[in-house]
């Protein structure tokens, strides 16, 4: 089975559309969470993810959609959540917040999560993948997001994959990121694609969101 993997869309519809247009043929698309937050187009992204993904897990921004005060220490993130809450319909909010925190893929061989599977909201960076070893004893591979840093590796023969962020990369590459996994060979390919950042920056500005949320997109940070 070939899986298209996306994560951390963060209400960036042009980036999401660019990824979907660029993605090679796959059997299913899965999303590792954070459909909303930061960006200006939450409704479009929720509807698109609902229509194209076979499985979507809930990210921390998705989970806190109805409680933006939890991001009071991070005004940019809090503003994005307030914006998302105001722009989504009741049905869209209910769908997003009802996503599971984990999901099994490929007959239970792979685990899909947003952050660390045993410590919710913990970041798993390329240099800390060894913290996943106890979980990987049960799986052929684990797929997660949260850091917005695209990378893949193997730990004791098991695939560890972060597809990177569709809508807000933080690895120095401003292009939208995604991945494709072949579950038969346990191999992943990493992909990047250009999108119209100027358009997203404009939409952020006219939506009244912090312009810093748009400025960071140009540098992939």
Residue ranges making up the domain that contains 72: 2-101+164-219
Q: Is the pLDDT of residue 193 over 90?
A: yes
Going by pLDDT thresholds of 50, 70 and 90, the confidence category of residue 210 is very high
Question: Is residue 132 situated within a structural domain?
Answer: no
CB atoms within 10 A of CB 95: 18
Q: pLDDT value at position 69? A: 86
- 161-188: per-residue pLDDT in tens? 999 999 999 999 999 999 999 999 999 9
Rounded mean pLDDT, 56-79 = 92
State the total domains in the chain: 1
Residue 50 has pLDDT above 90, yes or no: yes
* pLDDT tops 90 at residue 111: yes
What average pLDDT is seen over the chain? Answer: 96
Residue 153 belongs to a domain: no
- Count the helix, strand and coil residues of the chain and give each as a percent rounded to the nearest 5: 35, 20, 45
CA distance linking residue 216 with residue 218, whole number of Å: 6
For residue 126, being part of any structural domain is answered with: no
pLDDT on residue 70 = 83
Does residue 74 lie within any of the structural domains?
yes
**What DSSP character marks residue 183?**
T
- What is the predicted pLDDT for the residue at 130? 93
Checking if the pLDDT of 31 tops 90, the result is: yes
**Residue-by-residue DSSP string for 102-169:** EEEETTTTEEEESS-SSSTT----GGGGGGGHHHHTT-SEEE--SS---EEEEETTEEEEE---SS--
pLDDT at 71 over 90: no
Q: Is residue 63 part of a domain?
A: yes
Over range 8-12, report the average pLDDT.
98
Q: Which two tokens stand for residue 195?
A: 């999108």
CATH code, domain carrying 204: 3.60.21.10
Share of the chain above pLDDT 90, in %: 95
Residue 109 inside a domain? The answer is no
Question: Residue 206: inside a domain, yes or no?
Answer: yes
Residue 160 to residue 30: CA distance in whole angstroms: 15
Residue at 147 is within a domain? no
């Amino acid at each position: 089975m070939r899986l298209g993997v996306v994560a951390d869309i963060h209400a960036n519809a042009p980036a999401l559309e660019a990824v979907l247009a660029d993605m090679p043929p796959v059997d299913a698309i899965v999303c590792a969470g954070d459909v909303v937050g930061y960006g200006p187009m939450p409704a479009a992204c929720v509807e698109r993810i609902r229509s194209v993904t076979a499985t979507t897990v809930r990210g921390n921004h998705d989970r806190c959609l109805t409680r933006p005060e939890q991001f009071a220490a991070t005004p940019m993130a809090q503003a994005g959540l307030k914006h998302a809450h105001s722009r989504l319909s009741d049905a869209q909010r209910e769908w997003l917040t009802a996503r599971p925190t984990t999901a099994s893929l490929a007959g239970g061989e792979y685990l899909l999560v947003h952050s660390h599977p045993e410590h919710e909201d913990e970041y798993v960076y390329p240099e800390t993948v060894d913290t996943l070893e106890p979980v990987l004893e049960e799986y052929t591979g684990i797929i997660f997001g949260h850091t917005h840093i695209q990378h893949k590796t193997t730990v004791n023969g098991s695939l560890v994959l972060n597809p990177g962020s569709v809508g807000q990369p933080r690895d120095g590459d401003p292009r939208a990121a995604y991945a494709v996994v072949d579950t038969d060979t346990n191999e992943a390919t990493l992909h990047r694609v250009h999108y119209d950042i100027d358009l997203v920056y404009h939409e952020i500005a006219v939506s009244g969101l912090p312009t810093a949320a748009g400025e960071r997109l140009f540098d992939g940070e």
